Structure 1
């Protein structure tokens, strides 16, 4: 690895937040021969609600047009990155279905670019780094040489963003109830007495009371009615 690459990647690994990481990444992109650098973090999973992060040094007019015309919804690069971690080069063929987007890229000096995604399985986050420049198409050799560095950078951006997210409260750990305890619980919930439950389950009344006591202990309840209410709230009924 070239010394400057090693040095800048080390700096990136030391960054404590996205704001600190982006200038390092931007300098790295410039040293690789790119005019523009962009990072974004989204969540393609519908069940994960997340405000999209987007930082770049693209022309201001491009960002305004991208938002105003809602290009994100038709952007083939976004669609690719949401489902693949393979690098994608910004070529006219990739934009065959959205020629207006391709034309806008050319007008704003974003003629040649490529994007690299990293998918964080646990959180559902998709972080993307995109590099672009005015001139000189991106060769297969160039892509091969830089892929590993940018993939690592995208993974680090994802990690930094995760650290900034509010911690989700831990879900309460529900107790494990035995099949017999569940039977006693269900019958108690419909108003059956220990005597009646004993007859229905062919048990002794003493055994039924033993199960009721266990239910009260496991559900941290002071009596049978409270145990039934807590069990219903926990989803046992």
Structure 2
């Protein structure tokens, strides 16, 4: 079977799966074929929210502790920020600085390579798939293929009712619209006229969005809304 047929077969198997486990097994198997010894398949939480209910597969042996599997994952782990740093797959090499800032990176050790596949197939829901290890061998084609497979997997998990396309802490539709117009340079007065609401209501939506995104000002709120997939411009 050639590479293209292999990807098509994986996507077909995912689309025909009747439960979450076979979907996740296909993704994990692909990651391990590329040398991954550590696996994470998870949704990404909004600021100040826990991640536990969003984690679908966590196979992360702690090399500092004889390879004992980690059982806890912090929503504040800096490794998760790689899933928010862009919308394209990347391969990351773990440095000494990384191991000092992230328990996930510390558990696998300096010099490991990390494949990060952000998934935004269910906007505004965000997810990431991570395969890490010291034997990772992934070319550009592999990363592009992983992106296709991972997107198909999360769509299927949604179809199966395993995940929702909403997360705790997501902005409301009106909060998103106000922020989108703000990002386009509209004033509160202009937004109020366009949406046929009062300026007081515009400011209330901005304040609510700022609190949800843990942002310090209007500009920061727009930046965080973009980073967490809440708005697109």
TM-score range, shorter chain: 0.5 to 0.7
CA contact (8 A) 1:85 1:119 kept: yes
Task: Quote the Cα distance in structure 2 between the aligned partners of 1:101 and 1:57.
Answer: 11
Specify the alignment match of 1:105 in structure 2: 108
Specify the alignment match of 2:158 in structure 1: 162
2:70 to 63, 69, 77: 63
CA contact (8 A) 1:119 1:126 kept: yes
Specify the alignment match of 1:81 in structure 2: 83
Specify the alignment match of 1:128 in structure 2: 128
Alignment partner of 1:33: what SS? coil
Task: Quote the Cα distance in structure 1 between the aligned partners of 2:109 and 2:133.
Answer: 10
Relative distance call for 1:155 and 1:125 in structure 2 (3 A) is same
Gaps of 5+ in 2: 62-66, 167-233
Task: Quote the Cα distance in structure 1 between the aligned partners of 2:165 and 2:115.
Answer: 33
> How many residue pairs were aligned?
155
Specify the alignment match of 1:95 in structure 2: 98
TM-score under structure 1 length normalisation: 0.52
Q: Which has the larger radius of gyration?
A: 1
Task: Quote the Cα distance in structure 1 between the aligned partners of 2:11 and 2:41.
Answer: 16
Alignment partner of 1:27: what SS? helix
Alignment partner of 1:11: what SS? helix
Q: CA deviation at 1:16?
A: 3.4
Q: CA deviation at 1:104?
A: 2.6
CA contact (8 A) 2:92 2:113 kept: yes
Cα RMSD for the two superposed structures:
3.6
The structure with higher relative contact order (CA 8 Å, sep 6+) is 2
Task: Quote the Cα distance in structure 2 between the aligned partners of 1:92 and 1:167.
Answer: 31
CA contact (8 A) 1:37 1:57 kept: yes
Relative distance call for 1:120 and 1:46 in structure 2 (3 A) is farther
Gaps of 5+ in 1: 169-237
Alignment partner of 1:146: what SS? helix
Bigger helix fraction: 1
CA contact (8 A) 2:39 2:132 kept: yes
Relative distance call for 1:50 and 1:104 in structure 2 (3 A) is closer
Specify the alignment match of 1:26 in structure 2: 28
TM-score under structure 2 length normalisation: 0.52
